[in-house]
């Protein structure tokens, strides 16, 4: 993971993660409250092993709501959070404390670091902030680092997972900052890769309970029915083939299908990295180029690129390919097969 500044979360992925949240509030609201969830992070496995190992001979204690998982990572419950409708930034406040101690020579531990209340921000810049109190090593001076910019988070490849009224981003790489290294008394150098971080954010149910109906006063006027607006539906993406035959360009590329995202949510498109075909008794593989996400109301193109040896052998002839695509919105997905004849330029 690069050390300069963290790569921002792909807009398409971020919008997919929070689009359902946006539908739960009025258009005039600036933020959506996050009501719970969990931050799962082990900080640094090698550091945990060092603390409990034969050199430091220390211990690790959790408190304040934090718990230790079976794999050694720490789970911090989310006490609060928001999603900003303007900046598309998600922020959650974890709750709990992890206390590392070691190198106790009889007068108290020389290694003494307390890590408290991680706050995770995912957006244009993704960061873990935390309150840290530590002893300088080996001097022993106690220093406080409130709201320290502790680690950078690479959320660029995270795919949102929806479960009920919650969305999860798993295994996001993290990297220690200079401020984080100082807060940890230099036990971990700045720029060091830390444990991957997972995040779950829960929010209020999208379907609110109905209020009790009020009794209407009696009237002599004839009753008229008030038209109702049907509930919005999540339409599946629509696939349009290239029309049976596609002309290969001079570089060997051709568009074979177009996918229209007709939903109010971003659509996911899963395509193979390559598609195999035979030409003149030889086997070749054409590279498949397709977006993983298509924003709501937009279109995405699926293309193939035939390798140069196959393109030369094809000349002005034709070859047939068969490509399997998976289209989805939220938890709904469908498989489509594209059959296209590719025509060489000759």
**CATH number of the domain enclosing 291:** 2.60.40.2910
- β-sheet bridge partners, residue 224: none
Q: For residue 122, what pLDDT is reported?
A: 92
Per the domain annotation, does 117 fall within a domain? yes
- On whether residue 228 sits in a domain, the answer given is no
Q: Residue 2: inside a domain, yes or no?
A: no
Instruction: Report the C-alpha gap between 71 and 194 in whole angstroms.
Output: 15
22 in the same domain as 163: yes
Does residue 136 share a domain with residue 26? Answer: yes
| Residue 224 belongs to some domain of the structure | no
Q: Is residue 216 part of a domain?
A: no
Is the domain of 263 the same as that of 329?
yes
Q: Is residue 5 part of a domain?
A: no
250 and 116 within one domain: no
pLDDT on residue 198: 95
State which of 176, 202, 228 marks the end of a domain.
202
Question: 236-261: b or e for each residue (b if 16 or more CB lie within 10 Å)?
Answer: bbebebbeeebebeeebbbebbebbb
Residue finishing a domain among 185, 202, 219: 202
CA angle (55, 61, 62) in 5-degree steps:
145
Q: Report, as ranges of residue numbers, the positions in the chain whose pLDDT lies below 50.
A: 2-16, 20-21, 23-28, 206-212, 226-234
Same domain, 110 and 185: yes
Do residue 19 and residue 83 come from a single domain? Answer: yes
- In this structure, the answer to whether residues 47 and 175 fall within a common structural domain is yes
**Predicted local distance difference test score (pLDDT) of residue 236:** 61
Asked whether residue 109 is assigned to any structural domain, the reply reads: yes
Q: Are residues 133 and 50 in the same domain?
A: yes
The count of structural domains within the chain is 2
Judgement on whether residues 100 and 169 belong to the same structural domain of the protein: yes
Element of type H or E holding 94: strand 90-94
Q: Are 18 and 105 within one domain?
A: yes
Residue 54 structural domain: 11-202
Whether 128 and 263 share a structural domain: no
Residue 66 and residue 163 in one domain: yes
Long-range own/partner contacts, residues 99-103 (CB < 8 A, 24 or more apart): 99/60, 99/61, 99/62, 99/63, 100/47, 100/48, 100/51, 100/58, 100/60, 101/51, 101/58, 101/59, 101/60, 101/61, 102/50, 102/51, 102/56, 102/57, 102/58, 102/59, 103/56, 103/57, 103/58
Domain end position, chosen among 177, 202, 227 = 202
The reported pLDDT for the residue numbered 149 is 97
Task: Give strand pairing partners of 119.
Answer: 93, 129
If you write DSSP's letter for every residue of 25-54 in order, what string do you get? Answer: S-TT-SEEE--EEEEEE-S-HHHHHHHHST
Residue 215: inside a domain: no
pLDDT at 146: 96
Residue 63 phi, psi (nearest 5): -160, 175
């Amino acid at each position: 993971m690069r050390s300069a500044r963290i790569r921002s979360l792909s807009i398409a992925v971020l919008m997919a993660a929070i689009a359902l949240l946006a539908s739960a509030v009025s258009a005039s609201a600036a933020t959506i409250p996050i009501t719970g969830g969990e931050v799962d992070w082990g900080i640094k496995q090698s550091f945990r092993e060092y603390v409990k190992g034969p050199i430091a001979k220390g211990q690790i204690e959790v408190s304040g709501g934090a718990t230790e998982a079976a794999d050694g990572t720490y789970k911090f419950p989310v006490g609060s959070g928001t999603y900003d409708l303007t900046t598309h930034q998600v922020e959650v406040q974890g709750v709990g404390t992890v206390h590392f101690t070691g190198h106790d020579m009889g007068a108290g531990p020389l290694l003494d670091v307390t890590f408290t209340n991680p706050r995770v921000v995912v957006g244009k810049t993704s960061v873990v902030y935390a309150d840290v109190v530590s002893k300088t090593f080996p001097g022993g001076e106690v220093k406080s680092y409130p709201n320290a910019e502790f680690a950078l988070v690479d959320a660029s490849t995270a795919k949102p997972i929806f479960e009920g009224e919650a969305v999860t981003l798993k295994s996001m790489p993290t990297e220690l900052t200079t401020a984080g290294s100082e807060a940890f008394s230099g036990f971990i150098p700045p720029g060091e890769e830390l444990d991957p971080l997972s995040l779950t954010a829960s929010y209020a149910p999208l379907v609110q309970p109905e209020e009790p109906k009020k009794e209407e006063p009696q009237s002599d006027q004839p009753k008229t029915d008030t038209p109702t607006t049907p509930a919005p539906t999540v339409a599946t993406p629509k696939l349009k083939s290239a029309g049976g035959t596609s002309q290969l360009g001079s570089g060997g590329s051709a568009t074979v299908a177009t996918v229209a995202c007709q939903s109010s949510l971003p659509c996911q498109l899963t395509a193979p990295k390559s598609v195999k075909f035979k030409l003149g008794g030889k086997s070749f593989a054409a590279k498949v180029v397709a977006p993983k996400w298509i924003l709501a109301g937009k279109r995405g193109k699926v293309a193939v690129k035939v390798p140069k040896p196959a393109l030369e052998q094809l000349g002005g002839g034709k070859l047939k390919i068969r490509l399997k695509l998976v289209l989805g919105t939220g938890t709904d997905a469908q498989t489509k097969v594209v059959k296209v004849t590719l025509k060489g330029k000759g």
